[in-house]
């Protein structure tokens, strides 16, 4: 599904990604862990198409299509979803109207008519129940005055509504208490299928107890330096990153 | 001939057509003298520092249209709010169109200024209110001198007018250039309620200069809501002078939607003569090209325990320019005043300009007065967030602009007016999505 080869990218002339390779197949869950400043969020933003970054070499392909050529909305139409580490507050736009606009614009891009209002309402009801979101919450301005947990739940609610092929969860667990974490993880698990894939970016093992990864990658200094199964996350939790740095030196 | 000279010489002809023996005529003559002394405002005046009328005054305007022009309803229907029942006062090239209008003298009066001026029945009201709060400045004086046609609205005690009243001035372009000076008088007695929608619309690209004066008297416990829709042709300029006097417990709101026109100057003045008054001034301005809009507001807090709320949102593209000059005066006696003023602006282009100037003159010591002014760009992070969810850049920008303007839009009490404004904004932003925010 996603294939990244030798990706090098910089921001303000500072090289962040230094030849990153990653392949994610449909039906897989990949976790990306690594110390602060390793380039995890940069990778997420580049896949989503944020234009602050300069890509010097490398390819990003989604189902064989070169993502570098596409605007962020076109990537979204092709099924890329990024759950933001810091979701943006948009005063004056309600959660409901935002998601309606997002869905209908995506349908429009695919040559489809607007989703009938009744169907939309039904879907909103189902997905908000899945994420245990109060109906009143949906008429509030997007992310404005939301708690950290509400923001993250709202991200996964939007993911549930948009049904992406590739979902990237950028530190979706940060700021969540244990109940919210369980709700969010449960939501993600319900959406998992053999046709889509999830990339979980996290610092902590605890989210991976709920969303069990097929692969765990360590991103360090702009490269993926180690890949393992779910047990690697446990090892990182117990030992930190120093041993990996030492391994690299050797 | 210079416009001023032309106006001065036209006054003699004007006097032939009107009753010169009335008290009103004394007021006109005095105003005429005043304009003759003052002339048109120039940028040397502090109040006109950022707005020059020079280019507009160069046109050879016809002062009185020669003939009666008629227009087909089908051609202008789109300018009306026509999905609800309303009273209408329609003027074509400054002359009243009985065909397009819908007036009443039932329990209240929605009629013509000229007929109200002529009939003894209205004498008492006219004498009590006409030109009592309008300033004696250049352009208001000029309007007063020529005051004859416009809307006369009188709502007696305890009457709630259910249908909004639309006042629309069309110009047909039958003259190479047209100058209009509509004069409106709106008197709302105790505990009465009325909603008014105003629009100036040029039907061709022949230049138009409108110098309008509206006086509004809101008695005790009354409620008045005024919506000014300014979406005129790019060759039409407007100076809109509004003077509003409020008595105790009255609530008056004025929403000014400035989307079109060449040069638009709004002089909006509130005088609070009573306690527990609420004055609400709101505006959305969206400009492009070389358009210019100047909002000059004044709220004069004269007595204690009153409030005023100002909320102006501006979006400026290309080389457009905007001015927000909001003045709040709190007299020594006006303790416990709560005056709030906000002007938020977004510049979409490097060449667009906004001059914002809040002015507070506070002579009382126990008041709450706040003012805030921001100038910025659209939030790139918010735009990326929207794009990430599949909303294209153009629609995302439009949605952000709608959201930005929404605090003003949501306070519009007539749903059909709100929808119309949303539609005009969507057209202006060239997007086809109906945001029901």
pLDDT tens-place string over residues B325-369: 999 999 999 999 999 999 999 999 999 999 999 999 999 999 999
pLDDT digits (tens, 9 = 90+) for B20-74: 778 888 999 999 999 999 999 999 999 999 999 999 999 999 998 767 788 999 9
* Residue listed under structure tokens 């979803």: A81
Contact of A101 with chain B, judged by CB distance below 8 Å, is answered with yes
Which residue among B382, B393, B407 places its CB closest to the CB of A90?
Answer: B382
Contact of A248 with chain B, judged by CB distance below 8 Å, is answered with no
Is residue A248's pLDDT more than 90?
Answer: no
- Name the residue in chain B with its Cα closest to that of A107: B390
Which residue among A49, A73, A81 places its CB closest to the CB of B392?
Answer: A73
Contact of B98 with chain A, judged by CB distance below 8 Å, is answered with no
pLDDT digits (tens, 9 = 90+) for A167-218: 999 999 988 889 999 999 999 999 999 999 999 999 888 899 999 999 999 9
Tell me how close the Cα of B430 comes to any Cα of chain A, in angstroms: 15
Tell me how close the Cα of A48 comes to any Cα of chain B, in angstroms: 7
Which residue among A88, A90, A97 places its CB closest to the CB of B435?
Answer: A97
Is residue B399's pLDDT more than 70?
Answer: yes
* Residue listed under structure tokens 């869905």: A103
Provide DSSP, B102-143. B-B-SSSEEEEHHHHHH-GGGHHHHHHHTTSSS--SHHHHHH
- Name the residue in chain B with its Cα closest to that of A49: B388
Q: How confident is the model at residue B434 (pLDDT cuts 50, 70, 90)?
A: low
For B:275-334, CB contacts with A below 8 A are none
User: What is the CA angle B262-B264-B265, rounded to 5?
Assistant: 155
3-state secondary structure of B433: coil
CB contact under 8 A, B390 and A162: yes
How much is the ipTM here? 0.96
Which residue among A84, A92, A106 places its CB closest to the CB of B390?
Answer: A106
All residues at 6 or more sequence positions from B424 whose CB lies less than 8 Å from its CB, including other chains = B229, B231, B257, B259
Contact indicator for B236, B264 with CB cutoff of 8 Å: no
Q: Give the model's pLDDT for residue B13.
A: 85
Buried-exposed string B407-433: b where 16+ CB fall within 10 A, e elsewhere: bbbeebebeebbebbbebbbebbebeb
Tell me how close the Cα of B403 comes to any Cα of chain A, in angstroms: 4
Give helix A242-249 / helix A230-239 axis angle, nearest 10°.
100
Contact of A82 with chain B, judged by CB distance below 8 Å, is answered with yes
All residues at 6 or more sequence positions from B94 whose CB lies less than 8 Å from its CB, including other chains = B64, B65, B149, B169, B178, B180, B181, B182
Cβ neighbour number for residue A59 with a 10 Å cutoff: 13
Contact of B432 with chain A, judged by CB distance below 8 Å, is answered with no
Is residue B190's pLDDT more than 70?
Answer: yes
Residues of B whose CB is below 8 A from A103: 390
Tell me how close the Cα of A103 comes to any Cα of chain B, in angstroms: 7
Residues of A whose CB is below 8 A from B388: 48-49, 72-73, 75-76, 80-82, 84
Contact of B403 with chain A, judged by CB distance below 8 Å, is answered with yes
Count residue pairs from A and B with Cβ separation < 8 A.
85
- Cα A35 to Cα A41, A229, A241, B237, distances in angstroms: 11, 18, 7, 62
Tell me how close the Cα of A99 comes to any Cα of chain B, in angstroms: 8
All residues at 6 or more sequence positions from B176 whose CB lies less than 8 Å from its CB, including other chains = B60, B62, B206, B207
All residues at 6 or more sequence positions from B401 whose CB lies less than 8 Å from its CB, including other chains = B286, B315, B346, B378, B425, B429
Is residue A18's pLDDT more than 60?
Answer: yes
CB contact under 8 A, A90 and B403: yes
Which residue among A73, A82, A87 places its CB closest to the CB of B391?
Answer: A73
Which residue among B386, B396, B404 places its CB closest to the CB of A92?
Answer: B404
Which residue among A73, A81, A88 places its CB closest to the CB of B382?
Answer: A88
Strand partners, B285: B258, B314
Tell me how close the Cα of A63 comes to any Cα of chain B, in angstroms: 18
Residues of A whose CB is below 8 A from B379: 88
Buried-exposed string A167-206: b where 16+ CB fall within 10 A, e elsewhere: bbbbbbbebbeeebbebbbbbbeebeeeebbbbbbbbebe
pLDDT digits (tens, 9 = 90+) for B83-134: 999 999 999 999 999 999 999 988 999 999 999 988 889 999 999 999 999 9
pLDDT digits (tens, 9 = 90+) for A106-133: 999 999 999 999 999 999 999 999 999 9
Q: Give the model's pLDDT for residue B437.
A: 46
Q: Give the model's pLDDT for residue A129.
A: 93
Structure tokens at B86: 């309303």
Q: Give the model's pLDDT for residue B300.
A: 98
Contact indicator for B211, B41 with CB cutoff of 8 Å: no
Mean pLDDT for B362-386 is 95
Q: Give the model's pLDDT for residue B436.
A: 52
All residues at 6 or more sequence positions from B352 whose CB lies less than 8 Å from its CB, including other chains = B287, B316, B317, B318, B319, B320, B321, B322
Is B173 exposed, middle or buried, given 0-12, 13-18 or 19+ CB atoms closer than 10 A? buried
Mean pLDDT for A67-79 is 95
Is A8 exposed, middle or buried, given 0-12, 13-18 or 19+ CB atoms closer than 10 A? middle
* Residue listed under structure tokens 């138009």: B208
Q: Give the model's pLDDT for residue A33.
A: 94
CA end-to-end span of chain A: 34
Phi–psi pair at A204, nearest 5 degrees? -120, 150
3-state secondary structure of B171: strand
- Name the residue in chain B with its Cα closest to that of A105: B391
Which residue among A77, A92, A106 places its CB closest to the CB of B407?
Answer: A92
Separation CA B16–CA B20 (nearest Å): 8
pLDDT digits (tens, 9 = 90+) for B271-318: 999 999 999 999 999 999 999 999 999 999 999 999 999 999 999 999
Contact indicator for B226, B253 with CB cutoff of 8 Å: yes
pLDDT digits (tens, 9 = 90+) for B9-21: 999 888 888 877 7
């Amino acid at each position: 599904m996603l294939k990244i080869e030798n990706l090098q990218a910089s921001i303000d002339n500072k090289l962040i990604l230094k030849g990153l390779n990653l392949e994610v197949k449909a039906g897989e869950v990949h976790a990306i862990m690594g110390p602060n400043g390793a380039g995890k969020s940069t990778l997420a933003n580049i896949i989503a198409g944020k234009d602050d970054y300069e890509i010097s070499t490398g390819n990003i392909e989604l189902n064989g299509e070169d993502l570098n050529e596409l605007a962020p909305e076109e990537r979204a139409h092709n099924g890329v979803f990024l759950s933001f580490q810091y979701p943006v507050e948009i005063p004056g736009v309600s959660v409901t109207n935002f998601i309606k606009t997002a869905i209908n614009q995506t349908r429009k891009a695919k040559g489809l008519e607007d989703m009938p209002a009744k169907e939309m309402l039904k879907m909103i009801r189902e997905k908000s129940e899945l994420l245990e979101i109060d109906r009143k919450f949906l008429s509030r301005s997007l992310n404005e005055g939301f708690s950290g947990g509400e923001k993250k739940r709202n991200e996964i609610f939007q993911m549930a509504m948009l049904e992406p092929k590739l979902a990237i969860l950028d530190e979706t667990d940060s700021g969540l208490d244990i109940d919210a974490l369980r709700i969010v993880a449960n939501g993600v698990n319900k959406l998992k299928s053999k046709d889509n894939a999830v990339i979980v970016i996290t610092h902590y093992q605890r989210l991976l107890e709920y969303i069990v990864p097929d692969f765990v990658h360590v991103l360090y200094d702009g490269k993926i330096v180690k890949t393992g199964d779910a047990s690697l996350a446990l090892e990182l939790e117990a030992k930190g990153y120093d041993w990996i740095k030492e391994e690299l030196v050797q | 001939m210079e416009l001023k000279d032309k106006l001065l010489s036209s006054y003699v002809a004007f006097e032939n057509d009107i009753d010169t023996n009335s008290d009103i005529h004394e007021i006109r003559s005095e105003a005429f003298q005043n304009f003759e002394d003052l002339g048109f405002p120039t940028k040397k005046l502090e109040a006109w520092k950022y707005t020059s009328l020079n280019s507009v005054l160069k046109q050879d305007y016809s002062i009185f249209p020669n003939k009666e022009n008629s227009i087909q309803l089908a051609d202008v229907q789109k300018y009306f709010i026509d999905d609800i029942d309303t009273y209408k006062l329609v003027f074509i090239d400054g002359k009243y169109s009985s065909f397009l209008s819908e007036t009443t003298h039932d329990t209240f009066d929605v009629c013509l200024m000229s007929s109200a001026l002529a009939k003894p029945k209205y004498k008492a009201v006219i004498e009590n209110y006409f030109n009592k709060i309008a300033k004696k400045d250049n352009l208001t004086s000029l309007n007063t001198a020529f005051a004859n046609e416009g809307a006369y609205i009188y709502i007696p005690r305890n009457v709630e007018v259910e249908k909004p009243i639309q006042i629309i001035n069309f110009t047909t372009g039958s003259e190479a250039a047209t100058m209009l000076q509509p004069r409106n008088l709106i008197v709302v007695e105790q505990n009465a309620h009325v909603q008014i929608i105003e629009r100036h619309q040029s039907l061709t690209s022949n230049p138009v200069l409108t110098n309008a004066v509206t006086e509004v008297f809101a008695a005790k416990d009354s409620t008045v809501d005024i919506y000014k829709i300014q979406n005129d042709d790019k060759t039409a300029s407007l100076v809109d002078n509004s003077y509003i006097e409020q008595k105790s417990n009255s609530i008056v709101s004025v929403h000014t939607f400035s989307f079109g026109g060449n040069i638009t100057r709004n002089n909006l003045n509130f005088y609070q003569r009573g306690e527990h008054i609420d004055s609400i001034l709101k505006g959305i301005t969206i400009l492009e090209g070389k358009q210019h809009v100047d909002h000059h507001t004044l709220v004069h807090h004269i007595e204690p325990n009153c409030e005023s709320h100002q909320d102006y949102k501006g979006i400026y593209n290309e080389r457009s320019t905007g001015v927000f000059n909001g003045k709040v005066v709190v007299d020594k006696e006006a303790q416990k005043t709560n005056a709030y003023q906000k002007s938020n602006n977004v510049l979409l282009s490097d060449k667009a300009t906004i001059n914002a100037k809040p002015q507070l003159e506070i002579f009382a010591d126990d008041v709450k007065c706040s003012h805030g002014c921001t100038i910025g760009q659209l939030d790139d992070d918010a735009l990326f967030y929207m794009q990430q969810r599949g909303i294209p850049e153009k629609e995302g920008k439009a949605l952000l602009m709608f959201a930005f303007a929404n605090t003003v839009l949501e306070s519009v009490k007539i749903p059909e007016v709100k929808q119309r404004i949303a539609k005009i904004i969507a057209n202006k932003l060239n997007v086809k999505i109906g945001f029901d925010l």
